[in-house]
Amino acid sequence: MGGQCMIRLLVRGLPAWTLSIVCCLIILYLTLLPDPLNGNHVSLFEGADKVVHAIMMMGMMMCMAVDALRKKAAHRLDDSVRAPKGLLTVYMITVVLFGGAIELLQGAMAMGRGEDWADFMADAAGAVIGWIICLSAWSVTVRWLFREQQE
């Protein structure tokens, strides 16, 4: 059994919304704890933390889309080849609000972190980039993830 087949089986076999919940918990851990990496900071370039914020929210958006794809495809595979733009837009707005809530919590918790508009803008940009990727890759992902069921 190849590596790609194992990944497909793992993703298809997970309980509903597992990817989204795990991704959400990881993001909360990394963004709300005062020093989640125990001082192991790598200085890449100025603004690298904004890139990290965008990547986290892009990942959150993509996890939500994969979970929605799994749920929809489990019921009607033929109808799930086209991306549900409305649903993905709701997910994108949810991820943007999640990023905003994190920034507000960082300011309110007074644990060495503060709210930052630039972080929020990076969160929003990551959610939009994730939305674009999800819309673009939806049908390809359906064909890859559920290949055996279609044959």
**Tens place of pLDDT for every residue, the chain, 151 residues?**
566 677 767 777 778 789 999 999 999 999 998 876 666 666 778 888 899 999 999 999 999 998 888 776 655 555 456 788 999 999 999 999 999 999 999 989 877 777 889 999 999 999 999 999 999 988 888 777 776 554 4
Is the CB of residue 77 less than 8 Å from the CB of residue 146?
yes
Residues 108/114/118/122 CA torsion (nearest 10 deg) = -70
Q: What is the pTM of this model?
A: 0.82
Nearest one of 79, 68, 54 to 134, comparing CA atoms: 68
Asked whether residue 34 is domain-assigned, the answer is no
Asked whether residue 40 is domain-assigned, the answer is no
Domain range for 79 is 11-28+46-150
Please state the domain count of the chain.
1
What's the count of helices (H) and strands (E) in the chain, helices before strands?
Answer: 6, 0
Q: What is the DSSP letter of 112?
A: S
Asked whether residue 39 is domain-assigned, the answer is no
Place of tokens 């959150």: 60
Question: In degrees rounded to 5, what are phi and psi of residue 51?
Answer: -65, -40
